[in-house]
Structure 1
Amino acid sequence: FGIVQGGMHENLRDESLMRLVDLGFDGYAIGGLSVGEPKEERSRILGHVAPKMPSDQPRYLMGMGTPEDIIEAVGAGIDMFDCVLPTRNARNGWLFTRGGDVKIRNARYRDDTAPLDERCACYTCRHFTRAYLHHLQKANEILGARLNTLHNLHYYQQLMRELRAAIEQGCFSMSSRALLEERRRLL
């Protein structure tokens, strides 16, 4: 992959992309957008660079990983992502659900016998309660980190399935707005 760089400068990003395309790569990545810059600046650069990337080759956004970031990037034409967020957050007891993010260490889950996410079909949600996940996290049991990781990765896989289906059905804009609204309403 050729990695488009240039900080928050559109002209430098354009030059980087042009020279990378001249060299020829099997795919193109946008780098340098997950190093602490404001979200508005990231969105501006993503919106500027992504449409200019070759559409017949994979387009990869490096290091971005919140569900909101992924939805925005798919809307801009990005095909691939990598990020430690789902696994790092899982190890720390921060779980993504359709009902909002759950910080399983919170005392309110100590006696909660509901599954983590009623709408999730992952192994963790089918077999364990919030109370048990809370206990594992508080006790620093490695099983807790594993179960949380299984769940978060399943959540991301399901999110990507929904986004792909929306693209195939020609309703990405409507579906992505609904997903973003659901997350905003619940966070």
Structure 2
Amino acid sequence: MPEEIRQEVLREEENRRREQQAAAQRAAQREAAAAANANANTGAAAVAAPAAPPPGGDMDNASFIATLDPMLREEVLMTAPEELLQTLPAELRAEAQLLQDRAVRRLDARREVPLQAHAQPAVVVPVRVPPPPLRQHPHLQVMEQQLLVQAVPNALGQGQQGNRFGDEVLARLGLQQHFRLAVGGGQQGRQ
């Protein structure tokens, strides 16, 4: 590795280590203050704050876990053995229990989904929705009404000239067969 990059990596590592130590010291001081407040509230003698871990020395488990990245912290708490969890404060034990319970629920949910898929195959029933009725243009509606008015007298044998006009219009619209059926078959003998 080039010397410049190596020096930069070493500096970053040293800064990260210092930040972790400072965070561990702050966490230890908060714990000591909380313990002192709890003892003062119960009337017991105040307990001296534990000494901060020496730089580069050993940390207690709670301080170490407090310095971890949140994702790594969750993983450590989920996979930690029971012996380690017993050495942690109540808050961290509760957090570990919550994370473990959540992981178990996720696994159970994943196991149930494939079982349900095999037990009851999904049946997809296609539903046909009828198309909405087509609205005719108002002019076509008027023409149909006029043709019907002409077709009724023609069916009765009246107005032969109007019948030819109506037949021509119906033929152009492609509706001639429909109106013949609607009027009673039209005049079948007529050419």
Looking at both structures, which has the greater relative contact order when contacts are Cα pairs under 8 Å and sequence separation is at least 6? 1
- Both structures adopt the same fold (TM-score exceeding 0.5): no
Larger radius of gyration: 2
TM-score (norm 1): 0.24
| Structure with a larger share of its residues in strand | 1
Structure 1 or 2: more helix by fraction = 2
TM (normalized to structure 2)? Answer: 0.24
